[in-house]
Amino acid sequence: MRQLHASDSHGVERRREVVVRPDGSKVIRVEKRRRTYSDDQRDAKQAMLKNKRFLIGLCILVLLAAGALAGTYMYRLTSFNTEEFAGRLQADLSAAWGGDVKISGMAVDGLTMKASRIKVSFPEDSCLSFVAMEGISGEISAVPLFMGKIKGESLNVSRAAVGLRPGFVNFAVPQTKRELPFVFRRYTAPRLEVGYAHGTEEFTLERNGAPFYMTAEAYSRTSGNGPEPEYVLDLSQQKLKIKGWPLMGVDSGSVILNGSGVKQLTFSGFLDKGRLLNKPTDLSPFMITGNFLLGTDFRHQAWTLTGKNFDLASLLGDDFSSLLKVQTGEQEGDEKHELKLDFALPVTTEQKRPSLKGYSGSVIKATMIRLPVLRLLATMTARNTEIRLPYSSPVFTSGSFLLESDGMGRSASLKEISLFEQGFLGVTGGVYSNGTSLTGKLVFKIPSYMVDSRKLPSGVTQEGHEIILPVKISGTPESPQDNSAGMFQEEAPRTGRPEMHTAPSRGIALPAPSNSSPSRITVDGFM
């Protein structure tokens, strides 16, 4: 016989009992019994006891989990500070960077990773010689650390040096598919140095014989969410020295790097002339832009320089400094009125400065000196002793020209020269230098009313109101010459304008150029 117990909603306990009747049938007898206070109290104690057991078990599980986590965390911290981990990190970095990595002073203190020095030495087929980082520290995220990975928001490097390999002409770096063993969103370096290595010597800014040297305060960050990440390097407080060019002060700069090389480079600042604060008018603003893909020859003219107030000699050297001194590039909001050059780095030993090709759409000031034809011009225009014109050393305030140089001192040229001083003088033509001699042709244009009709050289012509005098350029960069000697002739005074084809044949000696600087006479409407 089975007995069943149940309770209704009113606290009445029902007892059910199966009873067998005399005829053999079975019925269920229900006997109701009201629950008492002691019954409820006993059930409550049993429920409380069950809850306590559950909570105790849960606490034990939490304590065990916390202990496991703490143990794992301590194990990670301990493992990060072992020589085994340092060796494994060196191996992982070597595989990711494609070079030999040496780490000194590696340690993890809490959530801070530190290293005194990391140096990477690259193989001979890389344009990189080494990369050295000192004073490294970064805050690590706790969750990646527990998983055995080093990740964080920012990694700071007190000094970073990138050594380029001397004589290497191809932009080539090791290509690996391995990821870095540590990843940070940002990298900062109060002092970044990029230059050409010289054996075991530390390169410095004063080593001006190197093709390229740069110091800057750098900030690097990742950009883009594509399959191939890009790194943006922001630069400030920058000094840039390119062999053969003046020192440049860069106010701002940025370099975008990806797996293909330098996607975009932009530098902007002023030439350091050593007197920027004293003479604000002498400021020479510039901007350098370009891109450089892996596999490109460094000698390729991949960079573009635009600027203002540049001296011609600072770009080309002394090939034409004894013939012409030019201050080029006046930016007026029009690209046609600026200095614009495509150039390449002087990475080989025979290069004295960057090779370049471009134009100056505006001339601020140009002075022509030490050319024999200038004495001829002074004599042609000496109509009387009261008027003294500065043809012996003319100054031009407008003009343009094309310029080109191989950077080795073997080939330099000024083409499509067009220099003018309103109502005074104009010069067109081109000159060329191979480093040891000059060639070319210049055409001088003078208002006819400036010319003394009694003192006309052979070979001149007249076009409208202009006297045209062409000369051939020769000599050396140090001593430029022309074919003006013996061209001067004298004829008797005429009542009208001279006919250029009837010039007499008698020559006279040329007067010596005057050291004085006579006042300029300008007439509107000429050229």
What's the rounded mean pLDDT across residues 272-277? 50
Closest CA to 457 of 505, 388, 392, 387: 505
Q: For residues 92 and 60, state if they share a domain.
A: no
d(CA 114, CA 355): 44
Q: For residues 291 and 154, state if they share a domain.
A: yes
Q: For residues 33 and 88, state if they share a domain.
A: no
Q: Which of 35, 60, 77 is the last residue of a domain?
A: 77
Residue 34 covered by a domain: yes
What's the rounded mean pLDDT across residues 132-138? 91
Residue 327 covered by a domain: no
Q: For residues 264 and 400, state if they share a domain.
A: no
Instruction: Say which residue the tokens 């390119």 belong to.
Output: 242
Q: For residues 49 and 143, state if they share a domain.
A: no
Q: For residues 63 and 104, state if they share a domain.
A: no
Q: For residues 290 and 350, state if they share a domain.
A: no
Q: For residues 286 and 348, state if they share a domain.
A: no
Residue 443 covered by a domain: yes
Say yes or no to pLDDT of 131 above 60. yes
Most confident of 5-9, 17-21, 419-423: 419-423
CB 164 within 8 Å of CB 212: yes
Q: For residues 67 and 207, state if they share a domain.
A: no
CB 233 within 8 Å of CB 218: yes
**436 band by pLDDT with thresholds 50, 70 and 90:** very high
d(CA 320, CA 83): 63
Write down the pTM of the prediction: 0.74
> Where would I find the beta strands (DSSP E) of 105-259?
107-109, 112-121, 128-140, 150-164, 182-196, 212-223, 230-242, 248-258
Number of domains in the chain: 3
457 CB-contact burial (10 Å; exposed 0-12 / middle 13-18 / buried 19+): buried
d(CA 432, CA 464): 30
User: Could you list the residue range(s) of the whole structural domain that residue 47 is in?
Assistant: 3-77
Number of neighbours of residue 482 by Cβ within 10 angstroms: 22
Tell me: the pLDDT tens digits for 81-106? 567 777 777 888 888 888 999 988 88
d(CA 48, CA 382): 124
Q: For residues 44 and 99, state if they share a domain.
A: no
Q: For residues 47 and 158, state if they share a domain.
A: no
Q: For residues 347 and 455, state if they share a domain.
A: yes
Share of the chain above pLDDT 70, in %: 69
What's the rounded mean pLDDT across residues 511-522? 36
